[in-house]
Copies of this chain bind each other. A is one copy, B any other.
Amino acid sequence: MARVTSADVARESGVSRTTVSYVLNGTAGTSISEATRRRVLETAARLGYAPSAAARTLRSGRSDLVLCVLPDWPVGPVVESMLDHLADDLAERGLSVLVHHARGERPLSDLWRAVTPRTVVGLSAFDPVDVRAMRRAGIQVVDTSPDERGAENPQPRIGRLQVERLVAGGRRRIGYATTADRRVAEFADQRLAGVREACAEHGLAEPLVVPVDVDAASGTAAVATWRDAGVTGVAAYNDEVAFAVLAGARAAGLAVPGDLAVIGVDDVPLAALASPPLTTITQSMDREAAYLAARVIAALDGDPPPKRSGGGPTLVARDSA
């Protein structure tokens, strides 16, 4: 069963391929008689005609695909839901979102050359070499590196919010549970910078930074370190790390938040079910997705990048801090 092409539709309808193309694409500035229009549409439907994306891409030099490149670090449910929203928002413009987990294995260039997307969206910063290559190939590049989006990097603010909460709860000696995962070091460092600033502003000592793996043993060791140093409030890189700290506190017989307050980041679905329920910082992923979608669309239309519409990270107050 051979592929149905526009030539088939043209022949069956008794018109030229030009007319078929005009009708099917609703090309402006060409008035086709209503009868012809109908006939073509009907024939296309009857034959189950689907235009070849490859041919269209080859001809026009652009596809309707948005390639979303995920970083090499584990994305949680938060990013996942963000992607869903992004896909919805872009679908309205006839754009399809495809997601690729960068795994370090293959060069990014293999991928974007293979798909020829209209736009590539990066959830972490791209290598500048890649960015240049993509732009040269006529691909829009939208990434979330600090330079790309101006000074509005929300990461430090997250750390600040954590400290505010801890201080409001009367904690004066702060610990920071950073991640041992080097792949997300960039984020952890930015959040930690915010923690440092806030500590300084409140006249507190430098936060005591301990890397914590997502397991109980690591959490236990970290908690011992903090206890020895008199730390009573811990800001964690994210909720998973916070869970490990919680487990460590439990193992050490420390009451949370009585002896040790713990605050995470992300508000993962399980955060509310922690023991005790985890206080955390959340970023509105709907808003983040809307912002990203707006940037993609602005880039497409040649408009200047939109401003971020406020929002930013907010506190989710539960029991752990």
Using a CB–CB cutoff of 8 Å, the interface residues on chain A facing chain B are 1, 3, 48, 50-55, 57-58, 61, 63-65, 67, 74-77, 80, 83-84, 87-88, 91, 96-101, 103, 105-106, 109-111, 113-116, 133, 136-138, 214-216, 219, 240, 243-244, 246-247, 250, 269-270, 272-273, 275, 277
Most buried by B among A75, A114, A215: A114
B113 near A50 with CB under 8 A, answer yes
Residues of B within 8 A of A113 (CB): 50-51, 53
Known A-B contacts A3-B137, A53-B113, A273-B246; the reply to A96 vs B101 at CB < 8 A is no
27 inter-chain pairs at a CB distance below 8 angstroms, sorted by A residue, are A3-B137, A50-B137, A52-B58, A53-B115, A54-B116, A58-B58, A63-B114, A67-B98, A75-B80, A84-B101, A84-B103, A87-B105, A88-B105, A98-B98, A98-B99, A98-B115, A99-B99, A99-B100, A216-B272, A216-B273, A216-B277, A219-B273, A243-B270, A243-B273, A246-B273, A246-B275, A275-B275
Q: Taking A3-B138, A63-B114, A99-B101 as given, write out 13 further A-B residue pairs in contact, using a Cβ cutoff of 8 Å, ordered by the A residue number.
A: A50-B137, A53-B115, A54-B57, A54-B63, A58-B58, A65-B115, A83-B101, A87-B100, A97-B100, A98-B99, A214-B269, A240-B270, A250-B275
Residues of B within 8 A of A97 (CB): 100
Residues of B within 8 A of A67 (CB): 98
Identical chains bound together, number: 2
Chain B nearest Cβ from A141, distance in angstroms = 15
B100 near A96 with CB under 8 A, answer yes
Residue of B nearest to A215 (CB): B272
A114 near B270 with CB under 8 A, answer no
Residues of B within 8 A of A275 (CB): 246-247, 250, 275
A53 near B83 with CB under 8 A, answer no
* Bound Cα distance from A84 to B70, whole angstroms: 11
Most buried by B among A51, A55, A57, A83: A57
Most buried by B among A67, A83, A98, A133: A98
